[in-house]
Amino acid sequence: IIAALCATMSIWASSDRTLHMVAPNPQADGWSTLFAPENRPALQSALEGVHVFKLMINCISNEFSYCAQTDWGEAGRTLQGLNVDIGIEAGMFSGLQSRTLPNSCNGTQDALDDLAKIAHLLETGVEPAWWTMDSLFQHTYAYPDNWTGWRFQSRSDCCNFTVTQAADAGAAYVAQIRSRLPAVRIGLNEPVPWYSVTTSNGTVFPAIGPTSPALPGYGMTGRDLPAVLRAFNDALHRLGESPAEYFHADQPVEFSIGELDQGNNGYHKLGALQLEVEKLGLTFGKYFNSQDGGQQSDELFYQRTILDARSYAAYNNDRLPDHVIVESWFPLPSHLLPRP
């Protein structure tokens, strides 16, 4: 994953981008020793030019066995010593219940729960600089009774919010996080394929339908991504909070090149979304990765991540995201650091 990040970064080597690396993969080799002193030279070399190392909150809370042995104080100090910010990706209202804390569907309580998950990190004096809210609007969407996705998650663990309800709960969450971490930069991500994107001139890029009979169709009726982002900032304003700082688009390469989108070019949709996000005053970023690569091989993940980055630039007149993120939530890549 780090090799893919470094190669992706090289495409923008001469530009001013904030580069994020995320390594939540539960099967990747090397978690327990990633931040150990003996690995520091390799980690320093791999993270040269990276600005943010983002961690999944349930990893820091030690819910996942693969990172339970990590010394988080050492991890934080190592990253600080490398001048790399720590980021948190928090699955608020995830619809997939935590093993230790239920889904409260209450923004303030959910924030308190998430702060409790990283209490042992904060106790070491290490504070995150970035905090990404994961799929606030999609995770709380009221899918219909006949939705095939109920095979994969419990109805009782979904909040079934309207856009306004989700925005208000998310704003309450932000207010609580900022009260404890006033310097943290807060933004959000959403899975672009399941939303429509309507531009200021009225052009509509639709949400996509089911991609496979074996998988649920996550496309949402009446959820337009620029509109929900406006609703979120409006809710923050009602609470007297400053707007969100950034938005990160989740769309693996297979959705962008038409393999999982009925042959449509998803890069045009992403380019239109970038313009609309920037009009809202948010910094735009994109996750660069591959769903097929993350399920088939390290090499395919690497090659398709590079394809994603180069294609994004090619289809959008070299308009580039200000935040470049490489992340895998798939079983692969199998190693965090390159092997000697």
pLDDT in tens, 119-169: 988 998 999 999 999 999 998 898 888 888 888 777 766 788 999 999 999
Flag the least confident range among 111-125, 293-307, 319-333: 319-333
Given a cut of 90, is residue 300 above it in pLDDT? Answer: yes
Q: Given pLDDT bands bounded at 50, 70 and 90, which one contains residue 98?
A: very low
Flag the least confident range among 93-102, 220-229, 255-264: 93-102
Each residue's pLDDT tens digit, 217-258:
888 988 999 999 999 999 999 999 999 999 999 999 999 987
pLDDT of 169 reads: 94
Flag the least confident range among 92-96, 104-108, 204-208: 92-96
pLDDT of 2 reads: 62
Percent of the chain with pLDDT over 70: 82
Given a cut of 60, is residue 97 above it in pLDDT? Answer: no
HSE, CB side, 13 Å, CA atoms: give it for residue 23: 27
Flag the least confident range among 24-28, 78-82, 146-150, 303-307: 24-28
pLDDT of 333 reads: 82
Flag the least confident range among 101-115, 222-236, 278-292: 101-115
First to last CA, the chain: 15
HSE, CB side, 13 Å, CA atoms: give it for residue 226: 23
Given a cut of 60, is residue 336 above it in pLDDT? Answer: yes
Are 254 and 292 in contact by the 8 Å Cβ rule? The answer is: yes
Q: Where are any strands of DSSP class E within the chain? A: 18-22, 52-56, 85-90, 130-134, 185-191, 197-198, 204-205, 246-250, 283-288, 323-326
pLDDT of 338 reads: 66
Mean pLDDT of the chain: 85
Structure tokens that stand for 165 in this block: 């309800």
pLDDT of 10 reads: 60
Each residue's pLDDT tens digit, 23-55:
655 556 677 778 888 888 888 887 877 889 888
pLDDT of 252 reads: 94
HSE, CB side, 13 Å, CA atoms: give it for residue 332: 18
Each residue's pLDDT tens digit, 316-328:
888 779 998 888 8
The more confident residue out of 60 and 238 is: 238
Flag the least confident range among 7-11, 153-157, 300-304, 332-336: 7-11
What CA–CA distance (Å, rounded) separates 104 from 165?
A: 14
Q: Given pLDDT bands bounded at 50, 70 and 90, which one contains residue 332?
A: confident
Given a cut of 50, is residue 288 above it in pLDDT? Answer: yes
pLDDT of 214 reads: 63
